[in-house]
Structure 1
Amino acid sequence: MELGEAVSTCLSKYATISGRARRSEFWWWVLATWLVGLGVGLLEAVLGIGSPDGGGPLSGLYALAILLPNICVAGRRLHDTDRSAWWLLIVLVPVIGFLVLIYFYIQRGTTGENRFGPDPLAAAAAPQ
């Protein structure tokens, strides 16, 4: 999976938490949203509308716009490792929760079908 395909998949599943997301889909999405966020921050700096601590109105709107797809792709990534999306709440545990989620995100997904659906890696490898 490449950047454009991952972004279009995540945006087409804007509010869909069911199913599974492969590692490449998740990490390409993270990279794309980070790069766009960086661009929005630079635009605010050029326009002089950002605050000194780095926030601004465009950054706030952008963060709000990608909040739901971020949650959904993270939930689908956890589904790929055969974990419930409720594990996202572990981020509420300071430091350790974030590290646990990173560990879950980098793990290989379960091979074959699991309780959340078919293997997205096998589906991508199958001839069309």
Structure 2
Amino acid sequence: MSGQASKRFIERKVFYAGDRIFKEGEPGDRAYIVERGMVEIYKLIDGKEVVLGTINKGGIFGEMALIDNAPRMAAARSVQQTTLVVVTRDTFVSKLSKADPFMRGLVNIFVKNIRRMGQEIVKLKS
């Protein structure tokens, strides 16, 4: 490899309107960046789908499962034809390992707080 770092392949996936990207409770081994289109994040509460938010171009989702190895706390589906850049666990861990230890700790605290708030919302809606 004559001194040059090998180029990494960037995986992209296309989803059509209504396609499920992942289910709530699944293990998370990748995050996604919206390159084109829109994604809806939703949760089943008392048998009803509750939309928690939408992710547009440039947004990232699915990253929390990569940080804390917990199951997906919500589901994701495409609202329209959507192209996603796939961020694998290996890529994510590699990037995160280069971050300042304080920032890594802060990210972990944010994820714990967001998951706790999600559990509280479910309790309130029940």
Higher relative contact order, structure no. (Cα contacts within 8 Å, ≥ 6 residues apart): 2
Looking at secondary structure, tell me which structure has more strand per residue: 2
Looking at secondary structure, tell me which structure has more helix per residue: 1
TM-score by length of 1: 0.29
